[in-house]
Amino acid sequence: MKTEIFKINSPDDEKIKLVGQILREGGLAAIPTETVYGLAGNALEGKCAEKIFAAKGRPSDNPLIVHISNISQWDALVSEIPDSAKALADAFWPGPLTIILPKSDLVPKEVSGGLDTVAVRMPENEIARAIIEASGVPLAAPSANLSGKPSPTSASHVIDDMKDRIEAIVDSGDCNVGVESTVLSLAVSPARLLRPGKVTAQELAEVLGEVEIDDAVFDKLPEGKRAASPGMKYKHYSPDAPVVLVKGSFEAFARYIKENAREGTVALCFEGEERALDVPSITYGKRDDPSSQAKHIFDALRRVDKMGAKQVFARFPENEGMGLAVFNRLLRAAAFNIIEV
């Protein structure tokens, strides 16, 4: 299949109609969102979900997020919208928050990965919303990476992974947030944070009163335990080289690298720190700025591969507020491998 690439920089661009038509006719298109690029298909057709799983090489028991452009589309997808969900939508939509509720019969089992719940979000990115609008249907869209690879935050990442596997790729430059949406389940009580993102647990608790953070956010699932969010049980975001998260001061990090570097060692550090390190390095944002780290982390993980790294030592990010989202992604990239120095 030959992938058509559409450069679109405005929600009024005429080419959005063509992308909408491809989606309406059952094709797949990678589209920008404020978090990461999504691999979109008609969320009401089980066959489209199957095509998405095939293009990504993703296990089909991992459910997809359904994207809407208008709050009225939500009603038909879920069995009921409780007041707590309405309050969250008021506070955070359009934006990087995904809300899980019991699903309606309209949502095919292929989209929900066989679960009786469905994850829904209304993206903030105006081009994304215009494409949903133009397609005339809600769009199922996981991140547009090959399964296991870092999520794509630029069209070139998507092209690397998806060229000639899908009908279209929309190129609208870099994503603003850089890590995927916060995933919150309202299908359990109290509400449970399944994946941290830009919308923090603290912000959610201000609206809901109480939010639990799922254990899988911080730790590897114990052998045999069922994941609340199936995505959490898979290896994720990994460069080809093994990554170790090194916890400690920058001085201790630099010393650790000096003592343990070998051929092919690459450091993943904060801006400015590379000058004081003895090995090639890639930076991921500013030290005290989790949102700049979020914006650069996935690109940094991809660049590590392009450098041909054989071993990666990564600086440990702050793990509070939005920093928890960055920490959670790096923890998975490192397969939970942390060394304290």
Min. distance of Cβ 142 from Mg ion in angstroms?
5
69 forms part of the interface with ligand TXA (CB under 6 A): no
The residue among 43 and 64 lying less far from ligand TXA, judged by its C-beta, is 64
- Looking at this protein, which amino acid is placed at residue 163? K
| Cα–Cα distance for residue pair 78/81, rounded to 1 Å | 7
Of all residues in the shown chain, the one whose CB is closest to Mg ion is 143
143 forms part of the interface with Mg ion (CB under 5 A): yes
Can you count the helices (H) and strands (E) in the chain? 10, 16
291 forms part of the interface with Mg ion (CB under 5 A): no
Closest to 195 (Cα-Cα) out of 183, 203, 204: 183
Q: What angle do CA 181, 239, 276 make, to 5 degrees?
A: 100
180 forms part of the interface with ligand TXA (CB under 6 A): yes
Strand order in the sheet with 265-269: 281-283, 265-269, 311-315, 243-247, 338-340
238 forms part of the interface with ligand TXA (CB under 6 A): no
Which of 16-24, 95-103, 105-113, 139-147 is the region at the interface with Mg ion (rule: CB under 5 A)? 139-147
Q: Which helix (H) or strand (E) holds 260?
A: helix 250-260
Q: x-or-dash pattern for ligand TXA, window 239-268, by CB under 6 A?
A: ------------------------------
229 forms part of the interface with ligand TXA (CB under 6 A): yes
The residue among 119 and 266 lying less far from ligand TXA, judged by its C-beta, is 119
Residue choice 30, 115, 304, 325 for contact with ligand TXA (CB under 6 A): 115
Min. distance of Cβ 273 from Mg ion in angstroms?
28
Q: What are phi and psi of 102, to 5 degrees?
A: -55, 140
Cβ proximity of 184 and 88 under 8 Å: yes
| Cα–Cα distance for residue pair 29/45, rounded to 1 Å | 15
Which of 22-30, 63-71, 279-287, 298-306 is the region at the interface with ligand TXA (rule: CB under 6 A)? 63-71
The residue among 38 and 285 lying less far from ligand TXA, judged by its C-beta, is 38
65 forms part of the interface with ligand TXA (CB under 6 A): yes
| Cα–Cα distance for residue pair 141/144, rounded to 1 Å | 8
Cβ proximity of 335 and 245 under 8 Å: no
Residues that bind ligand TXA (CB under 6 A): 33, 35-36, 38, 62-65, 96, 98, 100, 112, 115, 117-119, 141-143, 180-181, 183, 194-195, 229-231
Residues that bind Mg ion (CB under 5 A): 143
